[in-house]
Structure 1
Amino acid sequence: MKKPASSLTSTALRLLATREHSRQELRRKLAARADEGDDVEAVLDRMAETGLQSDARFAESYVRSRAGRLGSARIRRELGDRGVTEELASTALGEVLVEDELTRARSVWKKKFGQPPVDAKDWARQARFLQSRGFSAELIRKLLKDPVHEFVEG
């Protein structure tokens, strides 16, 4: 039995009411609920035309929610996985991330470890953690290189 387009529209509205979705996410979720012959793209087009769905708004919201825990590289990759263009991701990262990457990395590091690495093994463990959070190797080296001076200020 074919669902009317209004059913897909109401599903889309319900999904967008809970949080922002990228077009790709919304397409995937609607396609899972649609019957053969349903025009998911038409519903998506209508949502975008009316301003109910926006990849730019999704990207800004996503960056805001992840910025305290993740580095720019990981956020950029996750946005790409969700169908956000590189241009929109860069714009969102530039607008939302007012703190610099080093400050955010230091904050993430402090929450997890709180004290400088005591030996090479501990240094590697802390570096792997920061790298898994999407911080660059150069930034990690800078952060963990001189722990006495780096962490006194922050």
Structure 2
Amino acid sequence: MTDEIRKNIIDATTRLLARREHSEVELVQKLIQKGFDPASVQPVLIEFQQADIQSDKRFAESRVRHAANKGIGPNRVRAELSQHQIDDEFIHVAFSETDIDWFELAKAVHTKKYASQKPDTFKDKQKQRQFLQYRGFTFEQIQYAMENP
């Protein structure tokens, strides 16, 4: 790898990380899309990780907070983090360090969407449950949200 290619990879990586946190997998994909060789990208990313400029742990924490702010539940967040190949330990730490009451969040999401619509039929209840399930909430969180309007 020439010095110019290395410099270009560093510049591209810095620009990407300046906007928001990225997972290692996401950075590799984006840099490859920009035309960089995967073998050249990996050593640069290792340097960024050793300097704590790129961190999958920080990425996981950021995604958990961001998802909660958008009304997305823990199941969906875990699935998204798994797609980014984030280590299970980082996922666990991200959830334990954030002070999010997922039950209250499920209730708030349900209330925002269905505030004026009391489910009269089984079909209406199922529709509301499916909405919360799609959002990534657990069965217990959905029950809590629907029983405590």
Given the two structures, how large is their TM-score scaled by the length of structure 1?
0.86
3-state SS, counterpart of residue 52 of structure 2: coil
Aligned partners of 1:21 and 1:35: how far apart in 2? 17
Aligned equivalent of 1:134: 136
Aligned partners of 1:37 and 1:44: how far apart in 2? 10
Residues 35-90 of structure 1 show CA distances to partners (whole Å, capped at 9, x for unaligned) of 44751101110111111100111111111111131111111110111121111011
Aligned equivalent of 1:100: 101
Aligned partners of 1:9 and 1:62: how far apart in 2? 24
CA contact (8 A) 1:8 1:34 kept: no
Deviation of the 1:129 alpha carbon: 0.1
3-state SS, counterpart of residue 51 of structure 1: coil
Q: Unmatched 5+ residue regions in structure 2?
A: none
1:118 aligns with 2:126: no
Aligned partners of 2:141 and 2:37: how far apart in 1? 50
Q: Which structure 2 residues correspond to residues 1-154 of structure 1 after superposition, within 5 A?
A: 4-36=5-37, 39-68=40-69, 69-96=71-98, 98-115=99-116, 116-144=118-146, 146=147, 150-151=148-149
What value does the CA root-mean-square deviation take over the aligned residues? 1.7
Deviation of the 1:99 alpha carbon: 3.0
Instruction: Please tell me the residue identity of whatever aligns with 1:83.
Output: Q
Aligned partners of 1:79 and 1:7: how far apart in 2? 28
Deviation of the 1:139 alpha carbon: 2.6
| Identity level (%) | 35
Aligned partners of 1:120 and 1:103: how far apart in 2? 23
3-state SS, counterpart of residue 120 of structure 2: coil
Out of 29-38 and 11-20, give the one that drifted further.
29-38
